[in-house]
Amino acid sequence: MAHFDAPGAWSRYNATQVHRPPRALVTTLLDHAGEGRGRLALDLGSGAGVESAALLDRGWRVLAVDGDPAAERLLRARVPAAQAQRLTVRTQAFAELDDLPPLDLVHSAWSLPYAGAQLSQVWDQLLAALVPGGWLACDLFGERDTTADADDVARLTAAEVDGLLAGLDVVHRDEQEADGESYGRPTHWHVLSVVGRRLG
């Protein structure tokens, strides 16, 4: 069983992420997407809110979604009052994303694989909400990843990744593999980081 299957595991993990810098994925995304100027971004799997805050700092309106009930408190604690009116937070499972507004940007770092068998459904919902020309950035687990050993964590072959990306003009694609430890256990990371723009 993966360490994230334990009750409260996501809350404990997110609490450890509060003081880290924004991940490279959101920095690369913003290099391409630029200033928000009031456009709407979805931060899916917002966790401690680090990347949501980075989007707000660049002028985006942000819809932050996370299944961890503690995530909203972590995010709102770091957002200045002047930015709070541009932030909406939902505590919601990925499988419940059936009422998304039109989105100009989707960011999902290290979270989409945890949609498991519902990854394709969630992906379709994201693309349906993303406006033509809108930006999407995400991390996906390759087939050799052992970061989480739960059966319902999605690991994708190269062909499956290509199938997901067919509706995007991909401007950044980085694949990394490394051995290490995760929560004291030997781990092999196989992660694909992608930034693309919706066609059409």
Q: What is the model's pLDDT at position 91?
A: 96
The residue type found at 122 is: V
Distance CA 76, CA 73 (A): 5
Q: What is the model's pLDDT at position 2?
A: 44
Residues 149-171, mean pLDDT to the nearest whole number: 91
Stated pTM of the model: 0.92
Distance CA 191, CA 43 (A): 19
Q: What is the model's pLDDT at position 18?
A: 83
Residues 28-35, mean pLDDT to the nearest whole number: 98
Q: What is the model's pLDDT at position 1?
A: 34
Q: Domain map of the chain by residue range?
A: 3-198
Burial of 16-29, coded b for 16+ CB within 10 Å and e otherwise, reads: eeeeeebbebbebb
Dihedral over alpha carbons 180, 188, 94, 40 (to 10 degrees): 70
Work out the pLDDT band at 199, boundaries 50, 70, 90. Answer: very high
Tell me the H-state helices in 47-178.
50-57, 71-78, 81-84, 119-129, 158-164
Identify the architecture of domain 3-198 in CATH.
Answer: 3-Layer(aba) Sandwich (3.40)
CA proximity to 126, closest of 17, 184, 199, 42: 42
Q: What is the model's pLDDT at position 73?
A: 94
Residues 81-99, mean pLDDT to the nearest whole number: 94
Summarised one tens digit per residue, pLDDT across range 124-133 is: 999 999 999 9
